[in-house]
Amino acid sequence: MSKAVVANDHGAVSLAAEVVRHLEKRGFEVTYLGIDHEESIDYPDKAEEAVMEYRKGGYDFGVLLCGTGIGISISANKMKGIRCALPETKYAATMAKEHNNANFIAFGGRIEYSENPLDILDGYIDATFQGGRHERRIEKMMALEGK
């Protein structure tokens, strides 16, 4: 069974619940590390928790959510080996996987998307990394860590 880890802060409680339900409907086993209340917590803590869980292995990807998706994605991207995309369209989500082999995807619970976020998520899930010239670029990207 495919597995995903999902984490959110107080800015994306509703959208996180939708994401978890959607992933489960698609047959994913979900490890949910988010919160179900709007009492303020810090998104860097949730990003770190999700990445540490992901690193245990066995996960296909992770989904991170905060008010805009920006803070939690930046936080995750500070951690070694993480490529967290913040797409606002299905096309961008597909490219995040096909070209960048993103292992996390982020969303904003307070963002008014022009496309349904679940469709955007599906674009990411249904895509396959294309390798080839993209592998070379990812190697260069990851070599920037710590500079």
**Set 10, 22, 37, 66: catalytic member:** 66
Q: What is the CA radius of gyration of the chain?
A: 14
134 is catalytic: no
List the strands of the sheet with 84-85, edge to edge. 29-32, 3-8, 61-66, 104-108, 84-85
- What's the rounded Cα separation, in Å, for the pair 126 and 140? 25
Question: Could you confirm whether 10 is annotated as catalytic?
Answer: no
Tokens read off for 146: 């710590």
Measured in whole angstroms, how far is the alpha carbon of residue 9 from the centre of its chain? 13
Q: Which residues are catalytic?
A: 66, 99
